[in-house]
Homo-oligomer: A and B are copies of this chain.
Amino acid sequence: MKHYTIGVDVGGTNIKLGLVDRSGVIVARAFLDTKSFYKRKTKLIDEIVGAIRDLIDEKKLVSKDILGIGLGLPGLIDSKRGIVNFLPNVPGWKNVPLKSIIQKKLYIPTFIDNDVNVITLGEWKFGAGKGYKNLMCMTLGTGVGGGLILNGSLYRGEGFVAGELGHMPLNEKGPDCNCGGSACFEYYVGNGCLLKKAAKIFKRKDIQLPEVFRLAKHGNVRAIRFWEETAVHIGNGLVGVVNLLNLRLIVIGGGVSNNFQFLGKTINAVIRRRAMRVQSKMVKIVRAKLGDDAGIIGAQVLVKEAIRER
């Protein structure tokens, strides 16, 4: 009986693996260090395959207990053909037919997608988005990502790159972004920019965002203003999405969202103020539920949706 899936969440610094039962619970885990395999793509794939084998053995399972393997990767993924087109932060990956490579080694159906899409699938079926038909999952971290569930299925766009919320411009004019554009959402609320701004305000180069949150919670006026300004930018960025897509739900995940309670009120207020009446009344802004496990759990949804569509 095929009761399990395996989820692999490939990040720029580490790789998380998990064996997931049919109720979406992770029953075994493994970790790999991405950086030690930079430019050693074949070795990295072998390590992932080895870790998957170990997970199966650990629970005394065999291949045919596994419905499928799902991998989320940080880059441009052709999920239809199973090819990793490009990973901007992992050197040496270009046009790698990862799906077929892994399938040939393990004889288990394998599916790959962009990491934010996989997280979105996880939050949709097992997390904050359960039961919704039209939602966006936004990840706030070094980058700002977005995944879209529209009309009850993942919307990938014409070339698998839909959801680039981080590169919606917030203004007509503004600072250049490394995407080639300017005044991008990510410029205002990505971790890189927030850290620089915090370092300036608090005159400490090494300040980290969790500390700025702690300061705000203890009533530090500059820290409170820092997060309020951030939340206003987030709200401003979401107004256009709310008006254009008439979503029922926006799920906010990623590192910064750990302090959603603190940001949520202002984000909501901006949307209520600026978005159109019908759209704004209809949309709920909530915090993601699955945290760091979203990629592993979401991989199960990726596998199931792909098998259903075949």
Give the distance to chain B from A194, nearest Cβ to Cβ, in Å. 17
Contact A241 to B239, CB < 8 A, known contacts A158-B133, A169-B274? no
Contact of A245 among B134, B157, B239, B277 (CB under 8 A): B157
Contact A158 to B244, CB < 8 A, known contacts A274-B182, A279-B164? no
- Contact present for B153 and A278 (CB under 8 Å): no
Contact of A246 among B133, B159, B182 (CB under 8 A): B159
Contact of A169 among B76, B157, B161, B236 (CB under 8 A): B236
Give the distance to chain B from A134, nearest Cβ to Cβ, in Å. 5
Closest residue on chain B to residue A274 by CB atoms: B181
- Contact present for A278 and B247 (CB under 8 Å): no
- Does A26 make an interface contact (CB < 8 A)? no
* B-chain residues with CB within 8 Å of residue A286 when the two chains form the complex: none
- Contact present for A172 and B169 (CB under 8 Å): no
Give the distance to chain B from A197, nearest Cβ to Cβ, in Å. 16
Interface string of A77-119 (1 = CB under 8 A from B): 0000000000000000000000000000000000000000000
Closest residue on chain B to residue A240 by CB atoms: B168
- Does A179 make an interface contact (CB < 8 A)? yes
- Does A304 make an interface contact (CB < 8 A)? no
- Does A131 make an interface contact (CB < 8 A)? no
A161 to B150, CA, bound (A): 14
Contact of A244 among B156, B163, B172 (CB under 8 A): B163
Interface residue tally for chain A (C-beta within 8 Å): 49
* B-chain residues with CB within 8 Å of residue A240 when the two chains form the complex: 168-169, 240
- Does A167 make an interface contact (CB < 8 A)? yes
Interface string of A221-240 (1 = CB under 8 A from B): 00000000000110010011
* B-chain residues with CB within 8 Å of residue A153 when the two chains form the complex: 151
A133 to B158, CA, bound (A): 8
Give the distance to chain B from A158, nearest Cβ to Cβ, in Å. 4
Contact A171 to B168, CB < 8 A, known contacts A159-B282, A247-B157, A274-B181? no
Query: Which residues of A are interface residues toward B (Cβ below 8 A)?
Result: 76, 133-134, 146, 150-151, 153, 155-165, 167-172, 179-182, 232-233, 236, 239-241, 243-248, 273-279, 282-283
Mind listing 16 A-B residue pairs with CB under 8 Å? A133-B158, A150-B150, A156-B246, A157-B245, A158-B246, A158-B247, A158-B282, A159-B246, A160-B246, A164-B279, A165-B244, A168-B243, A170-B172, A181-B276, A182-B274, A241-B244
Please give me the 3 A-B residue pairs with the lowest Cβ-Cβ distance, nearest first. A157-B246, A168-B240, A162-B246
Given contacts A134-B157, A159-B282, A169-B236, 6 further A-B contacts (CB under 8 A): A159-B278, A168-B243, A169-B240, A180-B276, A180-B277, A181-B274
